[in-house]
Amino acid sequence: MAHELTTDEQQLISYAEKAIIRFNTIRQNHGGIDTLYSFILSDSGKIYDGACFEPSIQQATICGERHAIANLILQESYSARIRSILVADPVPSVQNVSTTPCGTCRHIIHQFSTPEATVLCMQYMRQGTTWVFPRIDTYLIKDLYPYPYTPNEHLWD
Ligand SMILES: [Zn+2]
């Protein structure tokens, strides 16, 4: 399922690597821990950020992917579409497979994606005082979610 990275995807990855270091530095300076981030390249060419939101009530947690999608919708409307979404998960050591979006996020990514939208699943880890990005696995959302659930689809037409 892996594909060769497009120029757009390489730009998204490069943006994500810088943003992860910036956000993790902020978190670290305030006693926080590394977290899962997500970055979206929209059909308009703009990039939106998201991070896993973990308040004290567990069921109120929002995945990084959905945080980024909410920012996309806020800035561009419900007709905005994802061209590529990157998910970056902190790992203690290089894993054989990178974390993929959860079922709920797969549905919502699919809902707001172009037909050929890609999902880039990246690992990051600390190395000394900085972070490294040892592995990335690439998918198409239509491969991760081939038979989508379609509740009240007319509402989104
Ligand atoms: Zn999720």
Q: What is the pLDDT of residues 33-91, one digit of tens each?
A: 999 999 999 999 999 999 999 999 999 999 999 999 999 999 999 999 999 999 999 99
Q: Which residue range(s) make up the domain with 69?
A: 7-146
Q: Does 48 fall in a domain?
A: yes
Nearest to 39 by CA among 62, 18, 68, 67: 68
- pTM, entire model: 0.93
Q: Does 76 fall in a domain?
A: yes
Q: Does 123 fall in a domain?
A: yes
Ligand 1 center–CA 55 separation, angstroms: 15
Q: Does 151 fall in a domain?
A: no
Q: How far is CA 122 from the centre of its chain?
A: 9
Nearest to 64 by CA among 73, 56, 54: 54
Q: Does 156 fall in a domain?
A: no
129: tokens are: 């005082």
Q: How far is CA 34 from the centre of its chain?
A: 15
Question: Residue 50: what are its φ and ψ, rounded to 5°?
Answer: -155, 155
69: tokens are: 């999608």
Q: What is the CATH number of the domain that holds 97?
A: 3.40.140.10
Ligand 1 center–CA 5 separation, angstroms: 23
Q: What is the mean pLDDT of the chain?
A: 94
Q: Does 152 fall in a domain?
A: no
Q: Is residue 130 over pLDDT 90? A: no
Q: Does 20 fall in a domain?
A: yes
Q: Does 153 fall in a domain?
A: no
Ligand 1 center–CA 125 separation, angstroms: 20
Domain count, the chain: 1
In DSSP terms, 49 is beta-bridged to 39
